[in-house]
């Protein structure tokens, strides 16, 4: 079975391995990762709907989308309660999804995702037996899912402990600010700076994202 995040061990390792990370952890406090979605299909479908939209707009569309399958459903249900099964998504036409605000491109992506789950190409059992790179390789053929989306799925749904999304804009900017770079970190710089974080890179990334929300005693990087 694939490893998952052990927050206590991860924090202890990160604080010892990286003085900048130690400062960030002291300022941010204990890690508070959001709860995973009830199902892998729901997590990935939600990520497709939220692409390139503000949180408020995406939540509205998500609520309308789930209401296509149950009239009383809301966006909150899509987080913790009711969500359509893959077969149900395959049974609804594009015009209905368009009426909920889902673009044609995203409707096609949702349908493709549903087909992958309905056909058994993707499942929580399969994810559990795959390495991080195998999960990514099996997700990339799905329309609307790129490497970044697959990495977020690994981090926040599957709770994989050692994911380092080198092209993440927020991470690149946080590294520039915290590690004294002249520009947002390049993928190579992310790999170099993040090397001491392994095997707990996922939690390190979470702390760097959260560092934008706290006041840090920044000086010259150690």
Residues taking part in catalysis: 168
Sign of the C-alpha dihedral, residues 178, 184, 189, 194? Answer: positive
What is the distance of C-alpha 123 from the center of its chain? 17
State the residue for tokens 């840090």.
216
Please tell me the chain's helix, strand, coil percentages from 3-state DSSP, rounded to the nearest 5.
60, 0, 40
Q: What interhelical angle do 169-178 and 187-194 show, nearest 10?
A: 60
For residue 171, what are the contacts with CB-CB under 8 A and spacing of at least 6?
A: 165, 185, 190, 205, 208, 209
For residue 159, what are the contacts with CB-CB under 8 A and spacing of at least 6?
A: 4, 5, 33, 36, 202
């Amino acid at each position: 079975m694939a490893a998952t995040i052990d927050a206590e061990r991860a924090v202890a390792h990160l604080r010892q391995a990286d003085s900048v990370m130690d400062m960030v952890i002291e300022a941010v406090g204990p890690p508070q990762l959001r709860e995973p979605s009830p199902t892998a299909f729901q997590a990935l479908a939600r990520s497709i709907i939220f692409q390139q939209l503000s949180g408020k707009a995406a939540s509205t569309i998500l609520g309308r989308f789930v209401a296509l399958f149950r009239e009383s459903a809301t966006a909150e249900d899509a987080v913790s309660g009711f969500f359509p099964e893959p077969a149900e998504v395959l049974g609804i036409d594009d015009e209905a999804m368009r009426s909920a605000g889902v673009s044609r491109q995203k409707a096609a992506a949702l349908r493709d995702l549903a087909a992958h789950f309905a056909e058994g190409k993707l499942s929580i059992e399969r994810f559990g037996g795959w390495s991080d790179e195998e999960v990514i390789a099996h997700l990339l053929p799905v329309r609307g899912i790129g490497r970044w989306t697959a990495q977020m799925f690994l981090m926040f749904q599957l709770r994989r402990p050692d994911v380092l999304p080198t092209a993440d804009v927020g991470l690149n900017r946080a590294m520039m600010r915290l590690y004294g770079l002249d520009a947002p970190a390049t993928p190579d710089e992310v790999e170099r700076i993040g090397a001491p974080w392994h095997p707990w890179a996922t939690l390190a990334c979470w702390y760097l994202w959260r560092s934008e929300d706290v006041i840090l005693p920044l000086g010259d990087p150690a």
